[in-house]
């Protein structure tokens, strides 16, 4: 017991290049701070895996987790497409495909842990919440959105689908017609729309998402921890089978030449709306 306690004490905070976390008063706060907008690449994933390990140790002593961004541009712009493009260019096709599958398996493990964590998870989002960033928010129980937040699944422009669990989680939370609209048009939409379709639980003024998330977390602390965890487990199934199929479909699509063309177009784009085809 004593050994576990000291281990937990060591994990009360952690800090690296892409993210850092702290636990205080039963609330874990995970801050994302990789320039320019928390793009998720291999180094970020390693840090997320460390956080996931720490989360499993901290969660017995916490009732809430808040994930937020310290970057002005937004919550998270999604996968690091420049890294993906570089790797797809420099590696053998089979090696690149294997690398992509490995990356997806690992990020799914992290997001599944956050999704199923026995505490209430809150994504406090602002600005760009695109692709993998949107998928990270969807793994959380509640989304509290700054009114300048903007959501989007732009993956189809690359000849891909969202690969970090986005479609199964969106489908779990919303009607299929809404999912099709967001996925197939690839359009971005604002926080008001996110609240209208049942995605965001609260829309707050500019710069207020983290404060509101903290107030919500404080309220959650008044409930019995075990009851809240049981209620969450009852109401929020993890769509494991669909998540597995999503990885397979993503890898199947990734093997096509259209993806490299799409990635190159994005990386080389100077367009004001590079997330649109």
190 binds other proteins (CB under 8 A): yes
**Please, what is the Cα angle at 231 between 124 and 107, to 5 degrees?**
50
Q: What Cα–Cα distance (Å) separates residue 183 from each residue in 26, 59, 130, 153, 166? A: 36, 33, 12, 6, 10
* Residue-wise burial string across 232-256, b where 16 or more C-beta atoms lie within 10 A, e elsewhere: beeeeebbeeebeebbeebeebbee
Q: Which residues contact residue 85 at a Cβ distance below 8 angstroms, ignoring those fewer than 6 apart?
A: 260, 263, 264, 266, 267
87 binds other proteins (CB under 8 A): no
| Contacting residue, 33, 147, 232, 264, with other proteins by CB under 8 A | 147
Tell the smallest beta-carbon distance from residue 124 to other proteins (Å). Answer: 17
273 binds other proteins (CB under 8 A): yes
Between 227 and 273, CB nearer to other proteins: 273
Query: Do the Cβ atoms of 47 and 104 come closer than 8 Å?
Result: no
Between 6 and 192, CB nearer to other proteins: 192
| Contacting residue, 19, 128, 139, 213, with other proteins by CB under 8 A | 128
The tokens for 9 are 């004490």
274 binds other proteins (CB under 8 A): yes
| Contacting residue, 34, 63, 108, 150, with other proteins by CB under 8 A | 150
Tell the smallest beta-carbon distance from residue 188 to other proteins (Å). Answer: 5
Between 198 and 237, CB nearer to other proteins: 198
Between 71 and 100, CB nearer to other proteins: 71
Integer Cα distance of 275 and 277 in angstroms? 7
34 binds other proteins (CB under 8 A): no
193 binds other proteins (CB under 8 A): yes
DSSP 8-state symbol, 31: E
Tell the smallest beta-carbon distance from residue 187 to other proteins (Å). Answer: 5
DSSP 8-state symbol, 199: -
Helix, strand, coil percent content, the chain, rounded in steps of 5: 55, 20, 30
Query: Do the Cβ atoms of 144 and 212 come closer than 8 Å?
Result: yes
Distance from the Cα of residue 183 to its chain's centroid: 16
31 binds other proteins (CB under 8 A): no
Query: Which region among 48-56, 61-69, 85-93, 184-192 touches other proteins (by CB under 8 A)?
Result: 184-192
Between 73 and 251, CB nearer to other proteins: 73
Write the interaction track for other proteins spanning residues 55-84; mark x where CB under 8 A is met and - where it is not: ------------------xx----------
| Contacting residue, 148, 174, 249, 253, with other proteins by CB under 8 A | 148
| Contacting residue, 188, 202, 212, 216, with other proteins by CB under 8 A | 188
**Please, what is the Cα angle at 265 between 261 and 271, to 5 degrees?**
160
> SS3 for 128?
strand
Which residues in this chain contact other proteins in the complex, by CB under 8 A? Answer: 37, 73-74, 127-128, 147-150, 185-190, 192-193, 271-276
């Amino acid at each position: 017991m004593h050994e576990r306690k000291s281990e937990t004490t060591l994990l009360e905070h952690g800090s690296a290049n892409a993210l850092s976390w702290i636990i205080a008063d039963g609330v874990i706060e995970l801050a994302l701070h990789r320039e320019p907008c928390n793009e998720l690449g291999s180094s970020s994933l390693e840090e997320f895996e460390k956080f996931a390990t720490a989360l499993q140790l901290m969660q017995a002593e916490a009732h809430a987790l808040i994930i937020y961004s310290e970057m002005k541009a937004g919550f998270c712009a999604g996968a690091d497409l420049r890294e993906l493009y570089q790797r797809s260019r420099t590696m053998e096709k089979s090696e690149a495909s294997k690398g992509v599958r490995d990356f997806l398996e690992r990020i799914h493990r992290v997001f599944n842990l956050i999704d199923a964590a026995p505490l209430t998870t809150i994504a406090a989002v602002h600005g760009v919440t695109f692709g993998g960033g949107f998928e990270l928010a969807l793994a959380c129980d509640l989304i509290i959105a700054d009114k300048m937040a903007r959501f989007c699944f732009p993956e189809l422009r690359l000849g891909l689908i969202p690969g970090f669990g986005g479609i199964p989680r969106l489908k779990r939370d919303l009607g299929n017609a809404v999912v099709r609209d967001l996925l197939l048009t690839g359009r971005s939409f604002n926080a008001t729309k996110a609240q209208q379709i049942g995605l965001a639980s609260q829309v707050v003024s500019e710069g207020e998402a983290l404060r509101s998330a903290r107030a919500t977390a404080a309220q959650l602390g008044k409930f019995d921890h075990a009851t809240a965890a049981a209620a969450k487990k009852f109401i929020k199934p993890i769509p494991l089978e669909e998540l597995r199929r999503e990885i397979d479909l993503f890898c199947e699509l990734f093997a096509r030449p259209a993806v490299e063309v799409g990635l190159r177009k994005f990386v080389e784009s100077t367009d004001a709306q590079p997330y649109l085809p």
